[in-house]
Structure 1
Amino acid sequence: MQSLLKITSAQVLTKGKQVFESLDFDWQEGEQWAIIGSSGAELTTFIETIRGNAVLPKGKLVRPFAKEYTEMKTLAGEINSFRDLIAYVSQRYEIRNKSNQQNFYFQQRFNASENEDTLTVREYLSQVEAKVSGPWTLEKVAHLLRLEYLLDKSVLLLSNGETRRLALGLGLMRQPRIYLMDQPMTGLDVKSRAEFGEILKVIISKGVQVLLTTSANEIPEGITHVAKLSGKGIEKSWEVADFHLTAKHEQKLSYDWELLDSLLPKRPNANEEVIRLENLSIKYGEKQILNNLNWEVRSGERWLLKGANGSGKSTLISLLIGENPQAYSQNLWLFGRKRGTGESIWDVKRPTGFVAPELSRFFPANQTCRKVILSGLFDTMGLFKKVSAEQENLAWKWMTLFHLEAVENIPINRLSLENQRWTLLTRALIKEPKLLILDEASQGMDEFQRRLFKDTVQQICERSSMTLVYVSHYAEDVPEAVGKVIELR
């Protein structure tokens, strides 16, 4: 077999720090790879090495897959790169407006009249300029990824899972020879994750070579080889038929639960009404999102909110956090008060802490970890006022709890995905909310970090009377304290 790409004895640095001591990897024609490991940063760096975005002080990386193409283009006097033949789906997928700027604000996605500056799914896919010819048309991509019914919808209105499918489609429109995917199943519901293997097999059948990072218990169909990373390099590799799930490696990292206990609010559980919906129905144009929904949540209850991608979870949450203007026309009570009876938006937001992975995209570029955390005290997307010494001290205690001291002055858009998630959780908790809403809040974390996040939420439930609404497509991520379920269909 012919080698597509070969890394030999490479020391790999990123941001000046060594990630791999001696990395060896030989990717042969016809092999489809799943890369696993305990560190999300190592998995991402492995892909960035292939993409040419890491520093190799020692060792060698060659890309035979691009040799013929680059020689031909160079001979013709055309600018070219091996990257012309690669598609990449990152976990940090971004949505931009018609001016190619990412200047959206979070509330904008729920205000239909304010979405006009965003492209539709059809326009977003159509604007991809491939450097090479290939088999993927807009129609074929939309059919494969179940985007057909979304083609005329604003990309800003897509659910998290729908946005992930769009990101995969954008990669295919580049007509890649090699397709790199960083945790591509993150954010997909159970049905979509099961279908992902079938999608992958179709992609491979068109001559695309695939390499993806994933967890050890999610190796999709179509993959032929598995490699496990460590700080030294590739620890072990298998043909997929020989791959067996080994015992998980438990890292020796824990949080100071006594410090957490001292920071959490101490309220008696008064069994008060927190959420009440009566025959709630939401439409966008002709599309019915929620239909005659009834739900009641009492203080101290812990609920799992379930539903497939596009079932209306994001819309429901937008009503609960005061961001959806349709709340005023509905029978919706929050903390015993009906929406539209004279309350301000701040009255709705103050008792509620909210975490979703996409929140990090809506903070201004100058907002550091510390500022984002402190902004939770004011329910703003960034810190824009002077804080007291007492508030600074409170933020420092929370940062100490979640080991964020070293990154306090780093802008949130430059933090690792793990630290972004802990920063957003801290922002939600610092104001001592009565209701905590966690929407796929550990998305993008590696396996250990997800277990730590789950344990942390469990400890919050055990040490406070906080009401919880928890959204996750992964049953193993749901804390034991969550005892009630509502499923949208």
Structure 2
Amino acid sequence: MLSIEKLHFQLSSKSPNSLPNTSPVKPPNKSSLSIEQLSLEKGESLLVLGDNASGKSVLAQILAGEITNYQGSVTLTEKFTTLSFELEAQTLAQDRLNDRSDYMEGAVDNGRTAREIIIDDNPFLQKDLEEIVALLAIEKLLEKPFKILSTGETRKILMARALMLKPQVMLLDEPYAGLDIGSQAHLSSVLNSLVAQGVSIILFDFYHQSLPSSIENLIYMQKGKIILSGKRKEIIASEQWQQLNESHYSLPHHLPDCLTYDSLEKNKTLVSVNNVSVSFDQKPIFNALNWQFEQGQHWRIIGPNGCGKSTLLAMISGDSPKAYGKDIHLFGVKRGSGESIWDIKRHYGLVSAQLHRDYRVSTTLIKVVLSGFYDSIGLYDSPSRQQVIIARQWLVLLGLEQHENTYFNQLSYGEQRLVLIARAVVKLPMILILDEPCQGLDNHNREKVLALMDYIAANSKTHLLFVSHDLRDQLKCITHELEFVRQSSDKILASDGENILGYIAKTTKK
């Protein structure tokens, strides 16, 4: 089914320029891959594990036919489909390209619905669609615009599209990214069922407990080479595996200075949300939210995919029109009292999947970090010498100093996420919004980032708002928790059995 012989790929300095500027699929900078031999028989499945920039995604792109300028022999004889961050970016790019909002008076072009993405103009049987929708439990998402879905929800829709093609092989690059805990367990159950049916799953990821138990074969990649290969249980029990997965990060002696930090009156509330409800297309998301975010607090926000976590964060950070007309006070000032978006944004640093999607400008890594001082996507101001020094110090803390002049879109997805974290913290903002910040990070970088966030909370005036579905993502600094829970009623249900009352929030002091 799969045969690789003497595969060699090296990204030359000229390679990025030869790729179309419109293509979101670009191999990481200085990527190299060297595999002497790898094979899978029909019906066999494989875990491809490794740290950021280890070569996993490059291998996935070669198998998917997205990279063709390699040496050696690569044969994949069965019908396959893919799921990846690159596919998500391509899908969203198509909707942006076809956006007709400028020609729709007083309206917004929301793009294709989730149903249209799943079908993708392919011939299909209604019975197949219904079975896959039921299998993935995505009925409530079908009529929503794809572009407004959360990361976890987009993963489910792209998984459905992949299954509609009835593949014999599925190439899945980090399929668990953004899924809530229940959805992670459900996806593992689905993948185990597919493996039992004879579908070959080649899953590219970092090691975690949610990986499907039925996938027995494993390879571990490092610097573009396979350094471990064999049966999963034997590899994970080996001493070499334990050594590869040891923690190896160190915290700074002090944080880089930030001369632009603003202070706030001692007793002034950071964020006040009073009896706020939000809906999309007349369908409630959350109801009657009351929340006070005080100085000295650090909050974790939790809840299932689609409950409104990212919507709430966008409303208070100036990125959502849903905030207009709502009783929201930011830093003691009522939202909509004449302040500009930039008056709001200067108090925040932000890491999120949406920002990662939107950061499409062609610019170097150092300029991405510097753009955090100006809350812009791209750098359009002349930074001061001190700002450049501070940005470089953050690059050193995150182990990215060697990439300073590398273009952002030439980094791996995980390395890009580290750069965006540096951009968010560079000015040590009053509020640091971390919306799934570790998405795309390997286990080593995940531990380093989480430890650094705790260090920032303890050694600066920055307050944290933290969202994560991953049980590995624990911060010691968290003082309070805001949880979205489904509002229940036995009498008010949608036609598909979904509760239509939306979510309500509970707050807890930790």
Task: Report the more deviating stretch, 191-200 or 42-51.
Answer: 42-51
Aligned pairs for 1:78-477 (under 5 A) are 85-92=79-86, 93-94=88-89, 96=91, 101-102=96-97, 115-129=108-122, 137-204=128-195, 207-218=198-209, 219-231=211-223, 232-238=225-231, 244=237, 247=242, 249=244, 254=249, 257-258=252-253, 260-263=255-258, 270-477=266-473
Aligned to 1:82: none
- Tell me how many residue pairs correspond in the alignment: 459
User: Once the 2 structures are TM-superposed, how far is the Cα of residue 250 of structure 1 from its aligned partner?
Assistant: 5.1
Aligned to 2:507: none
User: Once the 2 structures are TM-superposed, how far is the Cα of residue 430 of structure 1 from its aligned partner?
Assistant: 2.5
In 2, Cα distance between the equivalents of 1:42 and 1:289? Answer: 39
In 1, Cα distance between the equivalents of 2:308 and 2:408? Answer: 28
Aligned pairs for 1:41-52 (under 5 A) are 41-52=54-65
Amino acid across the alignment from 1:462 = A
Aligned CA distance change for structure 1 residues 195 and 123 (closer, same or farther; 3 Å):
same
Amino acid across the alignment from 1:304 = R
Task: Report the more deviating stretch, 444-453 or 30-39.
Answer: 30-39
What is the root-mean-square deviation of aligned Cα atoms in Å?
Answer: 3.3
In 1, Cα distance between the equivalents of 2:483 and 2:410? Answer: 35
User: Once the 2 structures are TM-superposed, how far is the Cα of residue 467 of structure 1 from its aligned partner?
Assistant: 0.8
2:37 to 19, 24, 33: 24
Deviations 1:364-418 (A, max 9, x none): 4323323322222222222223334443343333334334343333333332222
User: Once the 2 structures are TM-superposed, how far is the Cα of residue 319 of structure 1 from its aligned partner?
Assistant: 1.0
Task: Report the more deviating stretch, 220-229 or 433-442.
Answer: 220-229
Amino acid across the alignment from 1:247 = Q
Aligned to 1:484: 480
In 2, Cα distance between the equivalents of 1:98 and 1:409? Answer: 26
CA contact (8 A) 1:318 1:324 kept: yes
Q: TM-score, normalised by structure 2?
A: 0.80
Aligned CA distance change for structure 1 residues 367 and 332 (closer, same or farther; 3 Å):
same
In 1, Cα distance between the equivalents of 2:166 and 2:108? Answer: 30
Gaps of 5+ in 2: 14-29, 486-510
Tell me the SS of whatever aligns to 2:289: strand
Deviations 1:100-145 (A, max 9, x none): 54588xxx9xxxx754251111122222548xx9998333332222
CA contact (8 A) 1:91 1:444 kept: no
Aligned to 2:17: none
Aligned CA distance change for structure 1 residues 99 and 50 (closer, same or farther; 3 Å):
closer
In 2, Cα distance between the equivalents of 1:470 and 1:394? Answer: 24
User: Once the 2 structures are TM-superposed, how far is the Cα of residue 443 of structure 1 from its aligned partner?
Assistant: 0.2
Tell me the SS of whatever aligns to 1:198: helix
Tell me the SS of whatever aligns to 2:395: helix
In 1, Cα distance between the equivalents of 2:247 and 2:474? Answer: 22
CA contact (8 A) 2:4 2:35 kept: no
Tell me the SS of whatever aligns to 2:257: helix
Aligned to 2:488: none
Aligned CA distance change for structure 1 residues 230 and 422 (closer, same or farther; 3 Å):
closer
In 2, Cα distance between the equivalents of 1:26 and 1:337? Answer: 62
Gaps of 5+ in 1: 67-84
Aligned pairs for 1:48-63 (under 5 A) are 48-52=61-65, 53=67, 56-57=70-71, 60-63=73-76
CA contact (8 A) 1:369 1:411 kept: yes
In 1, Cα distance between the equivalents of 2:339 and 2:95? Answer: 37
CA contact (8 A) 1:8 1:25 kept: yes
CA contact (8 A) 2:299 2:481 kept: yes
CA contact (8 A) 1:179 1:210 kept: yes
Amino acid across the alignment from 1:317 = L
In 1, Cα distance between the equivalents of 2:467 and 2:329? Answer: 21
CA contact (8 A) 1:8 1:61 kept: yes
Q: Percent identity?
A: 29
In 1, Cα distance between the equivalents of 2:31 and 2:390? Answer: 34
Amino acid across the alignment from 1:41 = S
Tell me the SS of whatever aligns to 1:258: coil
User: Once the 2 structures are TM-superposed, how far is the Cα of residue 14 of structure 1 from its aligned partner?
Assistant: 4.7
In 2, Cα distance between the equivalents of 1:477 and 1:54? Answer: 37
Aligned CA distance change for structure 1 residues 244 and 143 (closer, same or farther; 3 Å):
farther
CA contact (8 A) 1:20 1:233 kept: no
